[in-house]
C-alpha cells in the first residue's frame, strides 16, 4: 500500500521537535505540502530544509505561541486568510506536570487555553475549506492518560480528555462532508517531553534518570519506548484516502501499555 498525499496541504502543530517533527517529515515523504507550526523559528527553518520535496512540494512554517491564546488566535487567523488546509494535526506542548492536589483553578484555565481552545479554534478555521472541498483530515494528538490517568499529569489528563470527547462529537457532525476526525492516544515515546518528565521524577525520588527510564520501558509489553517515526507512520495513514472509513476513533499507539480497551 502506497500512501499518496500529493496535492494535499498539511498543518502540523508542535512540529519543531519530537512527535510533531516526525509527523511532518512523514507527511512530506508521502507527498504533502507541509506547514510547521511551533515557537522555535530557527528549529523550524532547519526542519523545512530537511523535508522531502521529491514530489515538487512546497513547505513552510508558522511561528506561534500556543500558551498565549489571544496572540495565537490573531496569528492563526491571519494564516488562514491566505492559506487552506486539507490535513490538520492538532498538537501542542504539554502543560506542567503535577498531581491534582498541586494544581489550582488558574492552572486548569491555562491548560484549557493551551490544549483545548487553541485546538478548537484552529479546527474551526480549517473546516471552512474542508467542507467546501468535501474532504479533510483532522488528527488530534492526545494521550493514553485520557483512558488511564497518570497521577503526575493532572492537567493533561483532564483537558486532553475534553479534546478527545470533543473530537468524537465533531466526527459525527462532519462525516457527511467526507471529513474524518480521529484521536491518537500517545504512549511513551523517545522525546524531550519524556526526558523532562523522567528527570523531574528522578529528582523527586532521588534516583538516576536511567533507572526511571528502565522502569518505564519495563512497563511496556514491547519492552521499549516508541520511536517518533512510528507515530508519523500512523498519522500518515490516517491522513490518507485509505483511511476514509476510519473516523471518531481513539487509537492508542503505546506498545500495548494500556490495559483497558
Residues carrying an active site annotation: 152
Distance from the Cα of residue 257 to its chain's centroid: 19
Beta bridge partners, 142, equal: 185
Residue 19, C-alpha cell as written in the block: 512527535
Contacts of 154-157 with CB under 8 Å at 24 or more apart are 154/98, 154/99, 154/100, 154/102, 154/103, 155/95, 155/96, 155/98, 155/103, 155/107, 155/108, 155/111, 156/94, 156/95, 156/111, 156/115
Residue 30, C-alpha cell as written in the block: 508521502
The DSSP call for residue 226 is B
DSSP per residue, 85-151: -SEEEE--PPPPPB-TTT--HHHHHHHHIIIIIHHHHHHHHHHHHHHHHT-EEEEEEEEGGGTS--T
Phi and psi torsions of 137, nearest 5°: -135, 125
Contact 86, 92 (CB under 8 A): no
Amino acid at each position: 500500500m502506497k500512501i499518496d498525499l500529493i496535492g494535499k496541504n498539511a498543518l502540523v502543530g508542535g512540529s519543531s521537535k519530537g512527535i510533531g517533527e516526525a509527523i511532518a517529515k512523514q507527511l512530506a515523504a508521502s507527498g504533502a505540502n507541509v506547514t510547521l507550526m511551533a515557537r522555535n523559528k530557527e528549529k523550524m527553518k532547519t526542519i523545512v530544509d530537511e523535508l522531502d520535496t521529491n514530489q515538487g512540494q512546497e513547505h513552510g512554517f508558522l511561528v506561534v505561541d500556543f500558551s498565549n491564546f489571544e496572540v495565537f488566535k490573531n496569528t492563526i487567523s491571519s494564516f488562514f486568510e491566505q492559506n487552506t488546509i486539507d490535513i490538520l494535526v492538532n498538537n501542542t506542548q504539554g502543560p506542567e506536570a503535577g498531581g491534582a492536589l498541586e494544581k489550582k483553578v488558574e492552572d486548569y484555565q491555562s491548560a484549557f487555553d493551551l490544549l483545548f481552545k487553541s485546538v478548537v479554534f484552529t479546527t474551526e478555521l480549517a473546516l471552512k475549506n474542508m467542507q467546501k472541498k468535501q474532504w479533510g483530515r483532522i488528527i488530534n494528538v492526545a494521550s493514553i492518560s485520557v483512558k488511564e490517568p497518570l497521577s503526575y499529569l493532572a492537567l493533561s489528563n483532564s483537558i486532553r480528555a475534553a479534546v478527545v470527547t470533543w473530537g468524537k462529537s465533531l466526527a459525527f457532525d462532519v462525516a457527511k462532508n467526507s471529513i474524518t476526525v480521529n484521536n491518537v492516544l500517545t504512549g511513551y515515546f523517545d522525546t524531550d517531553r519524556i526526558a523532562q518528565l523522567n528527570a523531574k521524577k528522578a529528582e523527586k525520588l532521588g534516583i538516576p534518570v536511567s533507572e526511571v527510564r528502565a522502569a518505564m520501558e519495563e512497563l511496556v509489553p514491547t519492552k521499549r519506548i516508541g520511536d517518533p517515526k512510528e507515530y508519523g507512520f500512523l498519522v500518515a495513514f490516517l491522513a490518507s484516502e485509505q483511511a476514509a472509513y476510519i473516523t471518531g476513533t481513539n487509537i492508542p499507539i503505546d506498545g500495548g501499555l494500556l490495559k483497558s480497551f
